[in-house]
Amino acid sequence: MLRIATVNVNGIRAAHRRGLGDWLATRNCDVVALQEVRAPLAKLPLDAFGDYHVAYEPGQLAGRNGVAVLTRQRPLAVRTWDAEVLVRAPGEEHLHTEPAPDRVPLARGLGRHAHEGRYLEVDLAEAPVTVASLYLPKGGLPARLQVPNRMREAPDGGARYERKMRFMAAFARQLSRTRRAALANGREFLLMGDLNVAHTRLDVAAWRRSQTSEGFLPEEREWIDAQLSPRTLVDVVRAVHPDAEGPYSWWSWLGQAYARDAGWRIDYHLATPRLARTVVAAEVDRAHHGVRLSDHAPVVVDYAFPAGLATSR
């Protein structure tokens, strides 16, 4: 059994103060993907990652982004988009490493994002699986939907929207290449992370009024459609909960959104079909000891893969 989780920590230092370390110690995950770690190497809390091996790509945007994958065993390979990463065993000093030489060439359009700390993948030592952590840009509204007195951010003429759509188009090409490369090497593929898109009406509590909001635009939802199929990638949480509202993984800090469970499901496990068929449980950890670790909650999935794999639990 493999227990695998993903969580956008919205700043590792804040999440650590709220109890992330205790959650890691008690949840008994084999693999944890993190997004928005948002800390330079020198500012990482010393015990932020507990007893895990960590691969961390902080990016070069101060105070923004940063993705990591935590594993029980040192990964066999670590790959990112042409950026240097931190690879460290428990109790080890910082160790920098270059990306693996078998990195899939970047798709056209991704080069401009290569140093933003948005993507990292590792080959697990404990199972034939390649696991990736992605933080997809939040984006914004297209120019046609921007009404100044109804926006929290200043109108930008659709610049953030266009940037997100260009990223998504390029990443779709990269995702196909990466998935195929993993399968060609005898490994299943699992993409996890904050995709900043809710796929269907079941994935947003207030879906009617959200249809003109970033993250739930028709073209964004169609992009998710295009990544999923029974032959490519499966949304495993939705497969386990086909008719449920949610389970949501993000709630605004404002008002009573969390108390009313008025959230969005924007954090995903997208698995190759063979891996997806082994899922035995999928849930969202809304709180740890009554405390929210972030504005996102961990999405935890148990995979019975490969069959007969020993577990530490």
Structure tokens at 241: 């909960």
pLDDT confidence bin for 180, thresholds 50/70/90:
very high
Check residue 138 and give its pLDDT: 96
Q: What is the pLDDT of residue 91?
A: 83
Percentage of the residues of the chain whose pLDDT score is greater than 90: 84
Instruction: Please tell me the pTM assigned to this model.
Output: 0.95
**pLDDT, tens digit (0-9, with 9 covering 90-100), for 249-276:** 999 999 999 999 999 999 999 999 999 9
If pLDDT is split at 50, 70 and 90, which confidence band does 153 have?
Answer: confident
The residue that leads in pLDDT, 219 or 149, is 219
Contact 183, 166 (CB under 8 A): no
Q: Pick the more confident residue, 91 or 151.
A: 91
Cα angle 72, 281, 37; round to 5: 45
pLDDT of residue 308: 47
Q: What is the mean pLDDT of residues 187-199?
A: 98
Residue by residue, DSSP assigns the chain as -EEEEEEE-SSHHHHHHHTHHHHHHHH--SEEEEE-----GGGS-TTTTTTSEEEEE--SSTTS--EEEEESS--SEEEESS--EEEE-TTPPP-EEPPPTTPPPPPTT-GGGTTSS-EEEEE-SSSSEEEEEEE-------GGG--GGG-SS---TTHHHHHHHHHHHHHHHHHHHHHHHHHHTT-EEEEEEE-S---SGGGBTTTTTTTTSTTS-HHHHHHHHHH--TTS-EEHHHHHSTTSS----B--SSTTTTTTT--B--EEEEE-HHHHTTEEEEEE---BTTB-SSSB--EEEEE--STT-----
pLDDT at site 312: 40
Percent of the chain scoring above 70 in pLDDT: 97
CB distance 284 to 249 below 8 Å: yes
| pLDDT at residue 25, as a whole number | 95
Q: How far apart are CA 98 and CA 147, in angstroms?
A: 45
- pLDDT score, position 39: 95
Q: Are 19 and 291 in contact (CB under 8 A)?
A: yes
pLDDT-based confidence at residue 306 (cuts at 50, 70, 90):
confident
pLDDT digits (tens, 9 = 90+) for 214-246: 999 999 999 999 999 999 999 999 999 999 999
Average pLDDT (94-110) is 85
pLDDT value at residue 296? 98
Question: What's the mean pLDDT when you consider all of the chain?
Answer: 94
Check residue 216 and give its pLDDT: 98
Q: What is the pLDDT of residue 62?
A: 85
Considering only 22-36, 39-53, 58-72, 88-102, which range has the smallest mean pLDDT? 88-102
Instruction: Write down all domains in the chain, each with its CATH number in brackets.
Output: 2-303 (3.60.10.10)
Instruction: Answer whether residue 104 shows pLDDT above 70.
Output: yes
Mean predicted confidence (pLDDT) in 85-105:
84
